[in-house]
Chains A and B, each alone.
Chain A
Amino acid sequence: MYHVKKECVAMILAGGQGSRLYALTQDMAKPAVPYGGKYRLIDFPLSNCVNSGFDTVGILTQYQPLVLNEYIGNGHPWGLDRVHGGVHVLAPYESASGKSWYTGTANAIYQNISFIDRYNPDFVAILAGDHIYKMDYSKMLQAHKQNKADATIAVLEVPWHEASRFGIMTADENGVITEFAEKPKEPKSNLASMGVYIYSWQTLKRYLIANENDKDAKKDFGGNIIPDMLKDGCKMIAYHFNGYWKDVGTIDSLWEANMDLLNPNIPLDLHDHNWRVYARNPVMPPHYAGENSFIENSMIAEGCNIEGRVDFSVLFAGVTIEKGATVRDSIIMPNTVIKSNAVIEYALVGEGCVIGENVRVGERPEAIEDKESWGVAVIGHGIDIAPNEVIKPKAMISENK
């Protein structure tokens, strides 16, 4: 088949397990984790691609890909069902040389060199599939071209005390990266890599092949590709990003990222018609706020039926809150039912759960003396909690109770 040349192909790394989200990532990869009332994490990089004019996207999957595959489908919700290009889910495969599982981020791209080469691109964007942010990659690509760079890495200024959690770039006054350190104990800079890279494809390809042939090398970007390129004097540029960006690696950060949507001071506006975040839309009627409902400072998706009290919470599509139930400071994922008089506080409740009558899930931090034992309570997908049960703060429930 004839393939139209594309200037830039985007590759989204979506194989991550997200093991620290344990109960929520038992059956799905981290990029498929629900967020913000109607999205899954991957909607953000995908929508960024579309809004940036990138119409050729490869999604690299590995861990529990079923939910993600089904969700992406033919890419129609993102306008990525194209005649030329479009979205392609790229699972690891067995080839004549016997290679199979992706052994690292660089190896995943290496194994899909032939996919990228079909479009004969000048540039490749490598993107994480599980970060929440709105970013115009086309501006970054423009900067990459103007700088005649080999690699452009998006960076974010983080508080110094958090810098040791990130891949840290040191750059000179022209933005040229001079040093890179993965999670340094004593960071020399507070410019953190966002996991958004643009490479000149032929250069990257050379390094990917060399990396693959080096038996001792780590097969990921942070471990070897970036340090090797730096060592060889490649032109690598730090591209500053100032907007909202969140990596939701932990339960706390996933909870926080949802709560950020309710905070008018946080610059992540999902209602912005000039930069829509696309998602596969559920087919459901509008949500209904009942006669006795009380809803304040919350985000509510379509298909919900609310007869109870909802405060500082995010409700996904098709959630039912029965009479007398209270949901506070919590995130309730699609099609979950909260039965009457149940109280949910500081909790993440997965998809398709049934929380029985009078159940108590979580607790406000103020109500607890031993702050060490406090945390957001998590109920995994499809879990039923019997009436009158008490689920403690910080609990992680992955079996029916």
Chain B
Amino acid sequence: MAIMSNNMLGLIFANLHDETVPDLTKKRTMGSVPFGARYRLIDFPLSNMVNSGITTVGVITKSNYQSLLDHLGSGDEWDLSRKTGGLGLLPPYGQVGGGLYRGRLEALHGVENYISSSNAEYVLMTDCNVIVNMDFNHILEYHIEKEADITIVYGRGNYTAAQMRTKTAFGFDPDGRINDVLIYPNKEGEFDTSMNMYILKRDFLMDLITETASRNLYSFEVDIIQHRREEYKIYGYKYNGYYEQIDGFLSYFAANMALMSVERRSILFPQRRPIYTKVRDEAPAKYGIESDVCNSLVADGCVIEGKVENCVLFRGVKIGKGAMVKNCILMQDTEIGEKCEMNYVITDKNVLVGSYRSLFGTEDYPVFVGKGANV
């Protein structure tokens, strides 16, 4: 990593895309949605920033952010509890004139003071709906090389019309400069879609914020990327590596299940670039005498006495004797009673399923059981 990483200020939008998984974000932000047996979605952008040498990160929230604050604490698990910089939590109404924002630009306007007090040269902005392990220095290098005003990270993939209703797609000129922007196009096909990661100069961003606020513009995608693509040099940086983007309940389910692949796990969780998360001080998982577990991810604190197949078990999950649990995502402290049968079920935190109960969803429609429910 040759580049002056501390030249970047990180900004994470924790609440954007909440609407794509409404069940999961009923009581939390997109950033605090549990993922992969022990993580929250924000762990990925946050760890990527830290692993890229960024030591000042602001987290912009809007609503339901108590679980997020609880998760992040002082930021020490990410090594962001620092004398200079470190983790900054930026809830709405944090400064005069700030309030509930309508879009990314307005959110940025609400934290204008935080951005202006930094002395970083660049700002890296990301959302929480992408699961990836990425070195942001490569994007900065590209941004500088292209002398771009804004660089946006994108990936190429085949999507259904439903998926494309939540995505922004780009067209490029031969140099990689964006010359077409389709927002939520609602048609299927192969597209270059935004990963919602942006790099731009801090001074440039400050000017944009002030100017657009005075014109009552609030959408970064529409008012800047789409309407000003001719005025500004906006470049796309193609990310060719593995990543998952959450655009709905099914993709959330699929992204969790994708972790069963050794190869994908080694890409997402390499030893040298770990994904950090809040520590919960649980004992290692315990397998009972009649346990039978295969193709599953299991976090610390689990106690398994039944049969588990193709499942993601978060910390402190208990599976009773004789239970048969298949294709499920069971979040923190879910307890499954004896002889239960479950297939294609997602339980939120602290769900209790009594003995001898059966719950069945299907591959294209997993059942969701809300936080704290008692089945």
Q: Which residues of A contact B (CB under 8 A)?
A: 36-38, 76-77, 261-262, 270-271, 276-279, 281, 283-302, 305, 310, 314-316
Q: Which of B140-148, B298-306, B349-357 binds A?
A: B298-306
What is the bound-complex CA distance between A278 and B285, given in angstroms? 15
Q: Are B260 and A288 in contact (CB under 8 A)?
A: yes
Complex Cα distance, B265 from A33, in Å, reads 29
Contact among A36, A37, A77 for B279, CB-based, below 8 A = A77
Residues of chain B lying within 8 A (CB to CB) of residue A290: 294-295
Whether A292 contacts B36 by the Cβ 8 Å rule is no
Residues on B with C-beta less than 8 A from A302 are 38, 284, 299-300
Q: Which residues from B are CB-within-8-Å of A38?
A: 283-284, 300
CA distance A267 to B327 in the complex (A): 34
A133-B262 Cα distance, complex, nearest whole Å: 37
Q: Are A305 and B284 in contact (CB under 8 A)?
A: no
Residue numbers in B under 8 Å from A279 (CB-CB): 281
- A283→B294 contact, CB < 8 A: no
Q: What separation, in Å, do the CA atoms of A196 and B262 have in the docked complex?
A: 46
Give A233 Cβ to nearest chain B Cβ, in Å.
45
Q: Mark B268-296, 1 if CB is under 8 A from A, else 0.
A: 11000011100101111111111111111
> What are the residues of chain B within 8 A of A271 when measuring CB–CB?
282-283, 286, 301, 303
Residue of A nearest to B310 (CB): A291
Which residues from 307 to 326 on chain B have a C-beta closer than 8 Å to any C-beta of chain A? 308, 312-313
- 8 Å CB contact of B283 from A37, A298, A305: A37
Q: Please report the C-alpha to C-alpha distance between residue A293 and residue B76 in the assembled complex, in whole angstroms.
A: 36
Q: Give me the interface of B with A, judged by CB distance under 8 Å.
A: 36-38, 76, 259-260, 262, 265, 268-269, 274-276, 279, 281-301, 303, 308, 312-313
Given A289-B297, A289-B298, A290-B294, 6 more contacts at CB 8 Å? A278-B281, A283-B274, A285-B38, A287-B299, A288-B297, A296-B289
Instruction: Using A286-B38, A292-B294, A295-B293 as known contacts, say yes or no to A305 and B262 having CB atoms under 8 A apart.
Output: yes
Q: List 5 A-B contacts (CB under 8 A).
A: A38-B284, A77-B279, A271-B286, A289-B295, A316-B284
Q: How far is the CB of A260 from chain B (nearest CB, A)?
A: 13
| Set of chain B residues within 8 Å of A299, measured between Cβ atoms | 283-287
Interface centre among A36, A285, A298 (most CB of B within 10 A): A285
Kindly list chain A residues whose C-beta atoms are within 8 Å of the C-beta of B281. 77, 276-279, 281
Residue of B at shortest CB range from A312?
A: B289
Shortest Cβ distance from A291 into B: residue: B295
Interface SS majority for chain A: loop
Shortest A39–chain B CB gap in Å is: 9
Question: Residues of B contacting A310 with CB < 8 Å?
Answer: 287
Given A38-B283, A271-B286, A296-B287, does the pair A287, B298 have CB atoms closer than 8 Å? yes
Q: Which of B275, B285, B292 contacts A300 (CB 8 A)?
A: B285
Partner of A284, one of B259, B274, B303, B308: B274
Cα of A301 to Cα of B300 in the assembled complex, Å? 6
Contacts of A316 in B (CB 8 A): 284
Which residues of A lie under 8 Å from residue B296 when comparing CB positions? 288-289
Given the known interface contacts A38-B284, A77-B279, the answer about A289 and B293 at a Cβ–Cβ threshold of 8 Å is yes
Closest to A37 in B: B284
Residues of A within 8 A of B36 (CB): 285-286
Task: With CB as the reference atom, state the residue of chain A lying closest to B269.
Answer: A285
**In the bound complex, do residue B295 and residue A286 qualify as a contact, i.e. CB atoms below 8 Å apart?**
no
The residue of chain B having its C-beta at the shortest distance from the C-beta of A270 within the complex is: B283
Q: How far is the CA of A281 from the CA of B286 in the complex (A)?
A: 17
Contact A295 B265 (CB under 8 A): no
Q: Nearest Cβ in chain B — how far from A262, in angstroms?
A: 8
Which residue of chain A has the shortest Cβ distance to B262 in the bound complex?
A: A305
B50 to chain A, nearest CB (A): 11
- Closest Cβ–Cβ distance, residue B205 to chain A (whole Å): 32
In the complex, A322→B150 CA distance in Å?
A: 47
B284 touches A297 (CB 8 A): no
Whole-angstrom distance from the CB of B278 to the nearest CB of chain A? Answer: 10
Q: Closest A-chain residue to B314, C-beta based?
A: A286
Residues of B contacting A294 in the complex (Cβ-Cβ under 8 angstroms): 292
In contact, A288 and B284 (Cβ under 8 angstroms): no
Question: Contacts A288-B262, A296-B291 given: A36-B284 contact, CB under 8 Å?
Answer: yes
Which of B36, B76, B300 has the most chain A CB within a 10 Å cutoff? B300
Bound Cα distance from A315 to B276, whole angstroms: 22
In the complex, which residues of chain B have a beta carbon less than 8 angstroms from the beta carbon of A297? 287-289, 291
B297 and A295 contact, CB distance less than 8 A: no
A293 to B287, CA, bound (A): 13
Which residues on A sit within 8 Å (CB–CB) of B283?
36-38, 270-271, 277, 299
Chain A residues with CB under 8 Å of B260's CB are 288
* B256 smallest CB distance to A (angstroms): 11
**Which 7 residue pairs of A and B lie closest in terms of their CB atoms, listed nearest first?**
A37-B284, A270-B283, A286-B37, A301-B284, A283-B274, A285-B269, A286-B299
Q: Which residues on the B side are within 8 Å of A262 (C-beta)?
A: 286
- Smallest CB–CB gap between A200 and chain B, Å? 33
Least distance between A277 CB and chain B CB atoms (Å): 7
